[in-house]
Amino acid sequence: MRRRDLFALGTLAVAATAAGSASAGGPTSSSGTVAPSLNIAGVGVPIIAGGRIRNYVFVTLRLTLGSGQTPEMMRAKEPYYRDALVRQAHRTPFVLADDWTRVDSEAISAWLMRAAPSISGAGSIASAEVALQTPRRRTGVRPV
């Protein structure tokens, strides 16, 4: 195996471990009035500029569930959300013009709200946000 592949696998393993601990919690408050949420961790979003992949940013998404939805019901839809996000990110990258180490979290949230009815049904997701962003490369990344 090439050294580059070993480094990439190591980076993915660290990101998955960190993201797994972030997704372990359900609702963030101990109050019973908070809407349940589902964390989707470790989704690799490509940073594409000039027709080339410049970096990957691993994001953790927090989906606040709509009324009548439970995290157990929505966990079955998690692979569909991951697949749809990665496909959309390759079609229309969620890139910030001045930074290749972050994604446009407002654009991702807006797109998730538009895509949620087709993935899991109308009213299943009340809100979506990017909870955490971890770039694969942090140094040597400069927009041209």
5: confidence class by pLDDT, cuts 50, 70, 90:
low
Task: Tell me how many domains the chain contains.
Answer: 1
User: Does a structural domain hold residue 113?
Assistant: yes
**100 found inside a domain:** yes
| Average pLDDT, integer, range 16-42 | 65
Say if 144 falls within a structural domain: no
Confidence band (pLDDT; 50, 70, 90) for 24?
A: low
Is 141 within a domain?
Answer: no
* Residue range 91-143, pLDDT digits in tens: 988 998 888 899 999 999 999 999 999 999 999 999 999 999 999 987 666 66
| 140 is a domain residue | no
The verdict on residue 130 lying in a domain is: yes
> Has residue 93 been placed in a domain?
yes
- For 58, the domain range is 3-135
Global pTM exceeds 0.85: no
Q: Cβ contacts of residue 108 below 8 Å, gap of 6+?
A: 45, 59, 61, 85, 94, 128, 130
Is residue 39 situated within a structural domain?
yes
